[in-house]
Amino acid sequence: MKSFTESRVETEDNTSATIAEIEFLAEDLDTSEDFALEPQPEVPNGMSQVTNVNQLRDVAPTDWAYEALRSLVDRYGCIAGYPNQTFRGSQAITRYEFAAGLNSCLNQIERLIASSSAVSREDLDTINRLSEEFAAELAAIGGRVDNLEGRVAVLEDNRFSTTTKLTGNIFFNITGATAEDDVLAETNDLNTPLTIRRGARGADGEPIVSDITSDPEITFSYYSWINFNTSFTGEDILVTQLVAGNANSPANTFISAGLYNTFGVPFTDQTGAPEASSVAVRELFYDFPIGEKLRVVVGPRINWYRYFDNNAYTLFLNGASSYNSSGGTLVNAIDRGSGAVVTYDFNDFLTFKVGYLGENTEFLPSEFYNTSSDPNKGFFSATQTITAEIDLEIADKANIRLLYTRSTLDNNQPILDAAGNITGFGVGGATGEPIYGVADDGFGGTIGDAPADTFAVSFDWTILDWLGVFGRYSYGSTSIFPRNPALDDGEVNAQAFQAGIAFPDLIKEGGLGTFSFVIPFDVIDGEEFLVSGAGDGGTQYEFEVTLHYPINDNIAIVPAFYLVANPNNFEDNPNIYVGNVRLQFGF
């Protein structure tokens, strides 16, 4: 307790050896409205009982209160000091702090009386007067202790877990999109649901092209994560992440078949599961160390982007916010999958990562796409990827990542009619990296599984405290094997590019502004195998602007704007403009 303060007592000659010094100080305390019964700081934790006044390093025999302190210590033992053996008598105290010290002395005197030890009448009279003066504060302290004990009991009875921490992320999205004119899209039926829209060839053997003539309406949607992070040793972590959302971003209205969520779509503008507002397991894995340099991750649903291609300025939570920016462009065919990732830190400047994943993604229908848990397809068959990455810290706050991914895309996918009914299997429909769109054998027939190779480089560099640059380049090649043996095999080769500027601490500390130029999918050759995605040979590109503005540690506002030129890779297509305002909460 801090019982004496030189700032409140003018005299330097108060050296009585009785407890009357406490009364003197009590009379000097202001009892006006400034000391109304309001919540006050508790007595600091970590104080310890003093048995000899000389234990206090900041109390000298020449101090005016030295004898009073010595008396209280020697006679009643109700003075406490800080762990660093200081009393801090020069600091001001509140009435609550004084009452806490008084309560300590009252308890000590009661023990002395109970043990028949001598307590002077003068001291008892002083204590009675102080008890009456501070009755309200003493009662409040007792109530606080009772309340605290009750709350602790409730926590002990109802605590969630001693090993698991619950966190969450909630995103509100207001999104709108508009086109300057009618938009060309490769699709057989504009009435087909966007998520299963399919391409087709006409009688001339060319992809069917449709006109999208109307703009979508503005949407207001949500996306959410609930995270259970469990640690058993303090160095490991078991992650279970649940996801739910209800968005279908307006920009998807303009897409060709197989291009769902590939341009002008904020990452959080999605359902997160096959059906809107249904709950799915987005991540489930165990990450643990082996020694000081090696970490191993195993699980039935590992997030590829948690471990690979970790660009400092493209994480959607605070950086470039579209799918093409935050999810990478042409880097991996699987977002989440079953398998393992191994990370080895050679030193502070060099890290090697390798991972194998069999497809198991939360937003795709399990009966067709989550092949790793399907006994008819399996963990080592159907869609799978193996990725190797080298991370280099080439300078202070400058990083470069070199990636190679070998993938196999399972093309035993369902053939759907305009109403979404399954009419057969075997159509070539590779709708993810390194192919965007829908592939066939070049004549409307089916293809077999499509192996692919992808090479990528990603970098970020914080040049100044307020300025950074970032970028990616990816090149992918997918092999096409027609099921008709009379047709020749082939390849579809594509590239992707991104370059951007970042402004850390923009407007306020913790803010981040990004501006980037993105080419999400540029077909170099093999257009003859694409029934959708190649357009008329044009190259789609985007300009993206995002501002992450933190209100506090838990709330942020994130406005974003995207301009999409040559959408669907048609040179004659008009520009599409997408605006999004996201309110995000983290706890």
CA-closest candidate to residue 576, choices 585, 584, 568, 567: 567
| β-sheet bridge partners, residue 578 | 177, 562
The residue ranges of every structural domain in the chain are 20-158, 164-586
Instruction: Say yes or no to pLDDT of 458 above 80.
Output: yes
User: Which pLDDT tens digit goes with each residue over 467-507?
Assistant: 999 999 999 999 999 988 999 999 999 999 999 999 999 99
State the pLDDT confidence band at 423, using cuts at 50, 70 and 90: very low
The size of the chain, in residues, is 587
Instruction: Say yes or no to pLDDT of 45 above 70.
Output: no
Looking at residue 422, its pLDDT comes to 46
How far lies 496's CA from each of 116, 126, 413, 455, 505, in Å? 89, 84, 26, 11, 29
Rank 3-7, 10-14, 390-394, 435-439 by mean pLDDT and report only the highest: 390-394
The topology (CATH level 3) of 164-586 is Porin (2.40.160)
Looking at residue 27, its pLDDT comes to 41
SS3 386: strand
Looking at residue 107, its pLDDT comes to 75
Across 42-52, average pLDDT? 53
Asked which of 303-312, 338-347, 415-424, 522-531 is least confident by mean pLDDT, the reply is 415-424
User: What pTM value is reported for the model?
Assistant: 0.73
Q: Across all residues in the chain, what is the average pLDDT?
A: 83
State the pLDDT confidence band at 116, using cuts at 50, 70 and 90: low
Other residues' Cβ atoms within 10 Å of the Cβ of residue 318: 21
Max intra-chain CA distance, the chain = 115
Token pair in block for residue 532: 């959708």
Asked which of 34-48, 139-153, 529-543 is least confident by mean pLDDT, the reply is 34-48
User: Which pLDDT tens digit goes with each residue over 154-201?
Assistant: 766 666 777 899 999 999 999 999 999 999 999 988 888 887 777 888
Looking at residue 296, its pLDDT comes to 98
Instruction: Say yes or no to pLDDT of 124 above 90.
Output: no
CA-closest candidate to residue 361, choices 353, 370, 352, 351: 370
Q: What angle do CA 233, 235, 241 make, to 5 degrees?
A: 95
The burial class, CB within 10 Å (0-12 / 13-18 / 19+), for 342 is middle
Looking at residue 17, its pLDDT comes to 35
Instruction: Say yes or no to pLDDT of 25 above 70.
Output: no
Asked which of 31-35, 323-327, 359-363, 524-528 is least confident by mean pLDDT, the reply is 31-35
Instruction: Say yes or no to pLDDT of 26 above 70.
Output: no
Between 517 and 441, the more confident residue is: 517
